[in-house]
Amino acid sequence: MGRGAAFFDLDKTVIAKSSALAFGRPFYRDGLITRRDVVKSAYAQLMFRLGGTDEQTMAKTRDYLATLCKGWPVEQVRQIVAETLHELINPYVYAEAAALIEEHQSAGRDVVLVSASGEEMVRPIGALLGVTDVIATRMGVVDGRYSGEVEFYAAGPSKVDAVGELATERGYDLAESYAYSDSYSDRPLLECVGHPSVVNPDRQLRRLAAENAWPVLEFRHPVPLGRRLRERPAVPVAAAALGVGVGVAIGIAWYGRHRRTRTAPAV
């Protein structure tokens, strides 16, 4: 019997926002997206979250993502993420999720972030959390720019395929593994492990959890990394267990209302 691993969805499970939406303002500021892209991206992500397990919905979301990113310089995207990560992501990591990740690592389990967001975003977020293994969407690249093709779309059943491949490669026993997600679109991921838990679940997922007697966790305390280190554990993970039982307009609007306006050097 192999050892288990712990697979974490990212958005609204580990961080209290959408990782794709979070970088909307700097993407807009640096000319990668337009106002029209902003609205369409937010709508596309909303549709994914509401019906992400539908094959047609996933295909439309994937194709829109490829079209939106076509021609973007890969290095520019990486630089934007690196420059804004601590401002846009760090304050919104759930203390409960960070503590749970540390708990699994202390138990000798590998922790893997599994997200439909792009690898250029997910991997740096993982590094912020001390997580080196990620399963994320990979875009095709030609001459340093996104080609408009999606090499791998980490959503729905595709997540499970990637998890299975990693399990075979590493010798993980999925029956002894854990998975955490907030969205019904991750039902295949939750069902492929022996210890699934739902986090801040949507209505469909809460119902599914009740039907399968899965633990329901409520994460409510996003805390910056520095504060977590001083006050560890910020919130006991056990206290989050309450029972058994899917882009960019929102980011710009929210950022403009709730954070200080920041003037950035022209690119």
Dist CA 102 CA 94 (whole Å): 13
pLDDT in tens, 80-127: 999 999 898 999 999 999 999 999 999 999 999 999 889 999 999 999
Does any domain span residue 235?
Answer: no
DSSP H or E segment with residue 153: none
List the structure tokens of 90: 């760090």
pLDDT value, residue 1: 57
> What pTM, to 2 d.p., does this model score?
0.79
Does any domain span residue 168?
Answer: yes
Does any domain span residue 238?
Answer: no
* C-alpha separations of 77 from 2, 53, 82, 133 in Å: 38, 28, 9, 20
**Is the distance from CB of 100 to CB of 181 less than 8 angstroms?**
no
Burial of 257 (0-12, 13-18, 19+ CB in 10 A): exposed
**Is the distance from CB of 85 to CB of 68 less than 8 angstroms?**
no
Q: Please confirm, yes or no, whether 11 is among the known catalytic residues.
A: yes
Does any domain span residue 165?
Answer: yes
Does any domain span residue 253?
Answer: no
pLDDT value, residue 185: 86
pLDDT value, residue 250: 29
Q: What is the CATH number of the domain that holds 211?
A: 3.40.50.1000
Dist CA 116 CA 110 (whole Å): 20
pLDDT value, residue 135: 97
Does any domain span residue 28?
Answer: yes
pLDDT value, residue 223: 83
pLDDT value, residue 22: 76
List the structure tokens of 238: 């056990």
Does any domain span residue 64?
Answer: yes
List the structure tokens of 244: 């058994």
pLDDT value, residue 228: 52
Domain containing 28 equals 5-230
Catalogue the E-assigned strands of the chain. 5-8, 110-118, 133-142, 145-152, 178-181, 195-199, 216-217, 241-243
CB atoms within 10 A of CB 70: 14
Burial of 91 (0-12, 13-18, 19+ CB in 10 A): middle
pLDDT value, residue 252: 30
Does any domain span residue 245?
Answer: no
pLDDT value, residue 53: 52
Provide the domain count of the chain.
1
* Segments of the chain with pLDDT less than 50: 52, 229-267
